[in-house]
Structure 1
Amino acid sequence: MCQLKCHVNKDPEHIEVHICFQYKCYRDCDRINDNCVENHTCKKQYFEECELCPKIVAKTRSCGHHFKQFVCSKNVEEIECDRSCKRKLICGHKCPSKYCEPCGSCPFPKKKMSSCSHMVEVKCSEEPTPSKCSGKCPKLLPYTLILTNAKRLALQTARSWCMGTH
């Protein structure tokens, strides 16, 4: 309760102080700063409006990114986390995502052996299938043509149209 005699009978609890400015209480404010999560008290006088909490504190984002000096009244989740991820993917490559993002699958290119016996460059997390192969097929057709996958697909499509199996 305010000890000043200027308003002892009218609003001694300072309920109306920021609504009605007919008097000014010069007592040090003991209210909590606006948007304060750590209960820091306002450093103004009671008749003045409290501000957003200006105290510098340590905060941690939900992703685990830790900030040593951060304004108490600010939401740490609103700050864009641009720190690179330091985790390793299952394949051993370094994760290319941001620290606050999930790692996901490996996007780095890697040469792998396809079931058609050709080396195929695919994403590290992908399987090397013959459909991703651009090498010449070693299989001989009745008329001994060596075909690329694209030509083989065109020939298979043409045969299915001719046989009515499309």
Structure 2
Amino acid sequence: ERVMKQLPGCKHVVEMACNNDPSKFRCTRSCNTRLEKCGHLCRLTCHVSEDPHHLKYLCKQNCARKNASCSENHPCTKKCYEPCGLCMFRVEKKLPKCGHKAMMYCSDHPSRLVCQKKCEKLLNCGHKCKNTCFQKCGGCNVLVMKTLPGCKHK
């Protein structure tokens, strides 16, 4: 005959055969306790006798925190039990040294990036610099036609 018996550890009442010993029975109810650290529900089966305060429990659900290293309020992309770390969303930022924009991780500071775009400065001769932005301009290497003053040859 099946009867309702209270389990000694968790005090849950379960149905079992009348000759079964409740102390040898493992509770199969879901824990569903709201976790203090993250607010998610515990997904384990009843574990009152092993870890009632969830001190060893690692929540493996997606983290709901905002990333602390992020100026754009991006969400953390890790699991709840993992530290958020640096924000790894890719964003476009303006470089302070030259004004160009570049794609970088949100947590990167634009002053640390070396600009790889073409330099837009005009040289004294009027030609554009051919170097990349982070290089010094230097001299002009553009060949032009010039008339020699004494003989008028080109």
Which has more helix, going by share of residues?
Answer: 1
User: What's the TM-score bracket when you normalise by the shorter of the two chains?
Assistant: 0.3 to 0.5
TM-score, normalised on structure 2?
0.45
